[in-house]
Amino acid sequence: MNILDQLRKSVTTDSESEALALLERGKQLLDSHFYDRSMIEFSKAMQVHRELASKTVADIYRDMQGSGDLSALISVGSSLLSMNPDNVDLANAIGNLCRKNGDWNQAISLYEHCLRLKPKHNYATYNLPATIARLELADSVAVQAIREYEQRTSFYLPDYQEDLPELWELHHDMLDAEEEDFEEDDSFELDDVTEEEFDESVEPDEVHWQSLFDYILNDTKEDLSLRQKLLLTLGFCCLDRKIADVARECFDQLSGENSKDLNLSCFWILSLSQTGKRQDAIDKLVQLLGKYPNHRYANANLGLLYQQAERVMPARRHFFITHKLLQRSQGYFDLEECFQRGEEYFERQNFKRALEIYQPLIPEIESVELLNRIGHLLLQKNNLDDAYKVFQRALRKDRSNKVARQELKAVREAYLEMAETDLKKPDLKAAVYKLEQAIAILPTIKVLKQLFIVYGDLEDWKPQREIKKKIREMEEAELERQQQQLLEKAVQAEVSKDYKSAMTSYEQALRVLPKRGIFLRMVSLCEKNNKEEMVPRLTSWFNQLEEDYQRQELEPLTKEEMVLADEPSPEPEKVRRKKRKRRKAKSVE
C-alpha cells in the first residue's frame, strides 16, 4: 500500500520498525476480512508507537472512505477511535456506519459515547433517538426529518375545520333558545340590518363552551351520530384552545360510548394533560403505545408532551417513530383513510397503485381478507417472497384461512417452476434459494432429495448433511404413520376376536418397522389363543427381521454417496457384527 511504502522509507528507530510490522500485519488481515484480528494488530502498534500508529490508521481510514466496505471501515474507524477516544465527530461517524451495516446496538453505544463527551453535539442528539426508533436517517437528514415536529406547539388532531360552521350554528340556536326563556323588553327591537349582517357560520366573539356542551347533550338525544359528530368537533376545538375541562367532558362522553376507539382514548389523555396532569398523561400514552406501538396520534403527541417537559431525547425518539409511520401511510394519521384510497385504486383495477398503498402497511393490517388480496396481487406480480410473508401473516391471524393455504400452494409451485428454470441455466445458487423457500412452505421428500443433489453439485457439505437428516426423519415419520394405521387395524381385529387378521396386521406392521413392543403383542396374542408353539418360530423370524433392518441401516455408503455426504468411512464388518449381536432380541418362550 502507498501509505505503508512511504512510511517504510521514513522509519528510523527500532520502535518505529516494530510498529510498522504490526501495522502491515493489521492491513493484511484487514484485506483478508479478519476485522477483529486486524484491530488487535493496530492496538499492538499503538502500544509500541502511539503517534505513528494513530497517523497511519487515520490515513488508512481516510483512503477507505469510498470503498463501500462497511465492515472494514467500522474496524479501522474503531481502532482509530480507541487511539483518539475524545474525537466526538469520529464516534458519530462510526455510529452512522454501524447503522448502515445493521448494527443498531453498536451505533447506540457510539452515539452515547459521543454525547457523554459533548451533550449537545449537533448530530448525535438526533442520531441517537433516530437509531432507537430504528430509522436509517443520519446527521443533517435526521435533523431535517423532524424539524417540523419540534417547531409545533399545538397537538396533532384530525382536521375538524369543515364541521365548525355546524357547531357555531348550534351555538346561535342555543343563544336564541336562552333568550326565549326571558321576558323581552318591549322597547327593544332587533333591526333588520343587524340580522342580515349576522353570519351563523362564523365563530362568535364569545363562546359559552360549557353551555354548548350541555346543549348538545340535551338537544341531540334522538340523533346519536349527530351528537357524536358535534361533541368530537367541540372536543377538538377545546383542545386547540386549551379549554381543558370541556374538552375532557367531551372525550369522557365519547369514550364511554366508543370504549374501543383508540383515537378517542388518545384525545381523552391529551385533554387530561391540559388539566395540569402532564406526567399522568405521558404515563397513560406510554401505556397505550405499549399495546399499540404504531398509533400515530399517540406517538406524535407524546413527543410534544415530552418536549413541553423539556425531555428532548424521548421527544425526538417519538418524533422519529411518527416520521417513519407517516412515511409508511403516505402522511395519513388515520389508516382507514389510507385503506379507502387503496380500495378505490383496486376497484378501478389500478393494482400497481393499490399495492403501493397497501404494501408498506402490511405489518399493521389486521384484516385477513385484505391480507389475502394483497398476497394475491403480489403473487400475480411474481413477487413470491413478499407474497409468502403476507399469506403467512394471514394464517397467523386465522389458522382456518383456506384462501391463504391455497395461495401458499400456488406460491410453492411458482418457486419450484423457477427452480427448474435456474437448474437448466444452470444457476445452482438461485435454484437452492427457491427450493429452500418451497420446502419452508411444505417440505416433501422429493424436493428435499432434489435439494440434496444440488448441494452436492455445489460441494456444500454441511447443509447437505442437514438435508439428508431431514429426509431420514421424514421417511421414518411416514413409516411410523403407515405402521400406526396397521396397528389400529390389528387392535380392531383383536377386539372383534378375528385373531388371524390381527396377526396378519401385526406382521405387516413389523415389516414396516421392526419394534420389540409390537413383537411382544404378537407373543401375547399367541398365548391368549393357546398357540405357544408358534412363539419360538415367531421369535426367530423377528430376530432375522431386526437383523436385516440393522444391516440395511449400517451397510456402507457407495463411493458417490460418501463424496456427496462427506461421511466418514464405514466401520469394519467385525465391529458391525458385534453391534448386531448385542442388539439381537432374546428368545421369548
Grid cell 424521548 in the structure block, residue: 314
pLDDT, position 546:
85
Nearest to 541 by CA among 483, 480, 498, 585: 585
Task: Count the neighbouring beta carbons within 10 Å of the beta carbon of residue 81.
Answer: 20
Sign of torsion, CA 23 29 32 33?
Answer: negative
Q: Which amino acid is at 181?
A: D
Q: CB–CB of 483/513 below 8 Å?
A: yes
Nearest to 405 by CA among 366, 352, 368, 367: 368
Local structure of residue 363 (DSSP, 8 states): G
Burial of 223: CB neighbours in 10 Å, binned 0-12, 13-18, 19+: exposed
Q: How far apart are CA 373 and CA 407, in angstroms?
A: 10
Q: How far apart are CA 19 and CA 16, in angstroms?
A: 5
Can you give the length of the chain in residues?
589
Q: How far apart are CA 550 and CA 580, in angstroms?
A: 7
Report phi then psi at 283, rounded to 5: -60, -40
Q: How far apart are CA 358 and CA 449, in angstroms?
A: 38
Q: How far apart are CA 238 and CA 247, in angstroms?
A: 5
Joined grid coordinates for residue 69: 466496505
Joined grid coordinates for residue 28: 493484511
pTM above 0.75, yes or no: no
Report phi then psi at 483, rounded to 5: -65, -40
Task: Count the neighbouring beta carbons within 10 Å of the beta carbon of residue 238.
Answer: 24
CA distances from 382 to 224, 385, 387, 432 (A): 48, 9, 8, 18
pLDDT, position 567:
40
Grid cell 479478519 in the structure block, residue: 34
CA distances from 12 to 17, 109, 220 (A): 7, 39, 95
Q: How far apart are CA 168 and CA 212, in angstroms?
A: 9
CA 27 to chain centre: 38
Helix (H, G, I), strand (E, B) or coil at 169: helix
Joined grid coordinates for residue 315: 421527544
Q: How far apart are CA 412 and CA 407, in angstroms?
A: 9
Task: Count the neighbouring beta carbons within 10 Å of the beta carbon of residue 187.
Answer: 5
Joined grid coordinates for residue 277: 396532569
Nearest to 283 by CA among 263, 297, 300, 298: 298
Joined grid coordinates for residue 47: 502500544
Terminus-to-terminus CA distance in the chain, angstroms? Answer: 84
SS (H, E, C) 440-501: HHCCCHHHHHHHHHHHHHHCCHHHHHHHHHHHHHHHHHHHHHHHHHHHHHHHHHHHCCCHHH
Local structure of residue 358 (DSSP, 8 states): H
pLDDT, position 41:
72
pLDDT, position 277:
92
Residue ranges of the chain whose pLDDT lies below 50: 1, 7-9, 11, 183, 185-196, 555-570, 574, 581-589
In order, the DSSP letters of 219-253 are HTTT-HHHHHHHHHHHHHHHHHHT-HHHHHHHHHH
pLDDT, position 298:
96
H-assigned helices in 32-103: 35-48, 50-63, 70-83, 88-100
